Amino acid sequence: MVAFLPILIILIIVAALTTTFMVSSGKIKKSLVPAKAGGWMLIAYSSLLIVAIVVSLFIPGETISTESVDEQDLEQTVEDMHEAVFNAELDDVDPDLILQEWSFDYEKDAVGLDLLSANPDQFSIMVLIEKTNELDDDLKAFYIHSPMYMDGIPIDVETTPEVSILDEEVRVVTPEEQQIRYNVYDHGLSLEPFKEGNDSPFHSSFSMAVLYLQVPEDLEITADISDYEIVR
Amino acid sequence: MYLTEVKTSDIIGKQFRYKFKSYIGVFSSLVIIQLLGLLFSLSGSRFSSSSAVGYQVDVQYYTVDIVMIFTIFWGFMSAMLLTTKAYREDDFAFITNRFSSNLSTIAFLAVISLIGSLTAVLSGFLLKVVVYLVESEPLLSLNRGGIASTYSLEILGAFVVVFLFATLGYAAGMIIQLHRLFIVVLPAIFLGGSVWVATFDVPIDLFHFYFQEANFLLFLLKMVGTAGVLCAVAMLIANRLEVKR
């Protein structure tokens, strides 16, 4: 009931405003403003709206379409990426999804992982390790990120983690969280017929972030088993 | 046999013109209510948020939903006020009967509903301009495609909803004119009914029936059909009201 209180108050304000300008008391109609003012107010308001229509034509900014994002295509892209990295087929990953590459000289017999994040309980990058005989005394790292959409708006993923070698560990530091804010003007009415082909405008695409490490075949991994997954 | 034959349609037309001139004050409240709605809309109507590695994405939506809700309520209140004795008796300046009086009032309600819907939908442009001027982030425009991209259909959709609530207000006002007790009884029935439906999970979902209809034609039919029934109810009740003394 408390949740409805603000709505109730607003409706009371609207009711009060309506009746204030058009009051009937018994046989006498009273109004706080002269009746003719209503006509002039409507003309002024309509003129303002017409000016706004013209001005809005010159407002710069993109038009996004909920129809432009093919969710099936998007799911397929994430699935293909998932399949490629888990099958250790890095060549099959869309090059556009590899945001950064690192290469390190590494001559030691074992390597650990030091995964750091601003929020220690939430290290959300999946670490996959591929042991390969194509490498000898070096390590390679790739940061792969699936395309990201929020309510049909493409989000340009640009930030990447910091990856470095420190003693016998690969240190991965997740990027500082960036706040991105979009303002979207949606002229469509929130009535069901106007949501055609768009069950819910509120959705974000599932995104996947992977740090893909290629290490020599005989390198021992000393990290906690829960921090990574070996792919073949 | 009379020298001057008076047609009902002429009477209705004259009454309508008279009402439009006399009750033009309704537009004062319409303008103020829509501007108030726009003011509330400036803080955004909807918000969605999502996060990924290194990102927190917030999307603030600006819509005219609040303006529409206010306009619907304005239509309801204005129609209800027209049923009060002072307004009803205005018609006796003409040779009239209940039928022509009601029809001219319903025509008046239809016209003000149309004007209210038109300005409500177009107020989105004003909202867009103001948001662009006051917000620092870039403003994107959402194109939902389909019929939502056609303003004329949006105005039509908004009109039937505002008109439905106007006729609901008109019928409720007429019921209240039957007996003052209905001022208490009607809200009690409405609130009690809502609680009853919610508590006992009664499969009478009026909101779903009217507002979750995805087919535009069916949506129009439901709205116009119900508005017609409400008009008929209001006219029947009006016939039972006391005559002017």
Task: Tell whether the model's pLDDT for residue A213 goes beyond 80.
Answer: yes
> Across the interface, do B85 and A145 touch by the CB < 8 Å criterion?
no
pLDDT at B145: 62
Interface of A with B in 16-45 (CB under 8 A): 17-29, 31, 33, 35-39, 41-42, 44-45
> Across the interface, do B63 and A204 touch by the CB < 8 Å criterion?
no
Q: What is the pTM of this model?
A: 0.78
Round to whole Å and give the CA distance between A156 and A207: 12
Show the beta-strand stretches assigned E in chain A.
23-25, 28-30, 63-65, 98-105, 110-116, 126-132, 138-145, 148-150, 153-155, 162-166, 169-173, 178-186, 209-216, 220-221, 229-231
Round to whole Å and give the CA distance between A189 and B231: 26
Lowest pLDDT segment from A56-65, B33-42, B202-211: B202-211
A100 and chain B in contact, CB less than 8 A: no
A127 and chain B in contact, CB less than 8 A: no
Do strands A229-231 and A126-132 pair parallel, antiparallel, or not at all (unpaired)?
parallel
B27 and chain A in contact, CB less than 8 A: yes
Lowest pLDDT segment from A75-79, A142-146, A184-188, B26-30: A184-188
* Nearest-by-Cβ selection for A183 from B54, B135, B146: B135
Task: Tell whether the model's pLDDT for residue A132 goes beyond 80.
Answer: yes
pLDDT at B106: 93
User: pLDDT band for position A122 (50/70/90)?
Assistant: low
Q: What is the pLDDT of residues A153-200, one digit of tens each?
A: 777 777 888 999 988 889 998 887 888 888 888 877 777 777 654 444
Task: Tell whether the model's pLDDT for residue A4 goes beyond 70.
Answer: no
Closest CA in chain B for residue A45: B31
Q: What is the pLDDT of residues B135-186, one digit of tens each?
A: 888 788 877 666 556 788 889 999 999 999 999 999 999 888 888 888 888 8
Structure tokens at B97: 């009967």
In 3D, which of A210, A104, A35 has the Cα closest to residue B26? A35
CA distance A146 to chain B (A): 11
Q: What is the pLDDT of residues A79-106, one digit of tens each?
A: 899 899 998 898 888 888 999 999 999 8
| Residues of B in Cβ contact (< 8 Å) with A145 | 53
More confident residue, A19 or A139: A139
User: How high is the mean pLDDT of chain A?
Assistant: 80
| Residues of A in Cβ contact (< 8 Å) with B208 | none
CA distance A109 to chain B (A): 31
- Compute the count of residue pairs across chains A and B with CB atoms less than 8 Å apart: 305
AA identity, residue B23: Y
> Across the interface, do B148 and A188 touch by the CB < 8 Å criterion?
yes
* Nearest-by-Cβ selection for A177 from B25, B50, B56: B56
pLDDT at B37: 92
> Across the interface, do B122 and A38 touch by the CB < 8 Å criterion?
no
pLDDT at A200: 47
- Mean of the pLDDT values across residues B56-61? 85
Q: What is the pLDDT of residues B101-142, one digit of tens each?
A: 889 899 999 999 999 999 999 999 999 999 999 888 878 887
Angle at which helix B65-82 crosses helix A5-20, to 10 degrees, equals 50
Round to whole Å and give the CA distance between B139 and A61: 6
* Nearest-by-Cβ selection for A181 from B51, B60, B129: B60
CA distance B4 to chain A (A): 31
User: How high is the mean pLDDT of chain B?
Assistant: 83
Give the mutation candidate from B23, B29, B72 for the A interface (greatest A CB count, under 10 A).
B29
Q: Which residues fall within 8 angstroms of residue B218, CB to CB, at 6 or more apart? A: none
Q: What angle do CA B61, B65, B70 make, to 5 degrees?
A: 145
Closest CA in chain A for residue B220: A193
B45 to A190, B41, B61, B71, B144: CA distances (angstroms):
11, 6, 6, 16, 17
pLDDT at B202: 62
pLDDT at B184: 83
Round to whole Å and give the CA distance between A123 and A144: 15
What are the residue ranges spanned by the domains of chain B? 8-178+213-240
Closest CA in chain A for residue B209: A192
Closest CA in chain B for residue A51: B126
Burial class (CB in 10 A: 0-12, 13-18, 19+), B111: middle
